[in-house]
Amino acid sequence: MAVVRFTPEHEWIRVEDGVGTVGITDYAQQQLGDVVFVELPALATVVAKGAQAAVVESVKAASEVYAPASGEVIAVNDALVDEPGRVNAEPTEGGWFVRLRLSDEGELAGLMDEAAYAALLESLA
């Protein structure tokens, strides 16, 4: 069963069998506005928790997507190169950025579950 966790910077990670799929939350894509460009890392890139994993540019701003956990990039969502708007349309499904083979699943312990993330969003309203 997949485990989903969230960062205070509005990234999500869905973990299944030691692999984490990373994207930005619906709240984050709303704040960015229309996404017009996505820069993805090369396969086999090793990223550290909290380090830049991708870049997303919108009509409003450019922003880094930070890795919620450390790991090696084993897949990138190439569809975003031609269709960056998928980040807006499907932020938690087809709009994912990278898949990481996690180096330490224990790093997930410091992230928020869905209830804690919902409480964070309430505090921002």
For the chain, the domain total comes to 1
User: Each residue of 69-106: pLDDT tens digit?
Assistant: 999 999 999 999 999 999 999 999 999 999 999 999 99
User: Each residue of 10-37: pLDDT tens digit?
Assistant: 999 999 999 999 999 999 999 999 999 9
Length of the chain equals 125
45: in domain: yes
115: in domain: no
CATH code of residue 58: 2.40.50.100
Q: Could you write out the DSSP letters of every residue in 9-49?
A: TSEEEEEETTEEEEEE-HHHHHHH-SEEEEE-PPTT-EE-T
Q: Indicate whether 1 pLDDT > 90.
A: no
Q: What is the DSSP letter of 70?
A: -
125: in domain: no
Domain membership of residue 32 as a residue range: 3-103
114: in domain: no
Q: Quote the radius of gyration of the chain (alpha carbons, Å).
A: 13
Task: Give the SS3 label for residue 75.
Answer: strand
Q: What is the spatial distance between Cα 20 and Cα 89, in angstroms, rounded to a whole number?
A: 21
Q: What pLDDT is recorded for position 125? A: 84
110: in domain: no
CB atoms closer than 10 angstroms to residue 41 = 19
Query: Alpha-carbon dihedral of residues 26, 88, 29, 52, nearest 10 degrees?
Result: 110
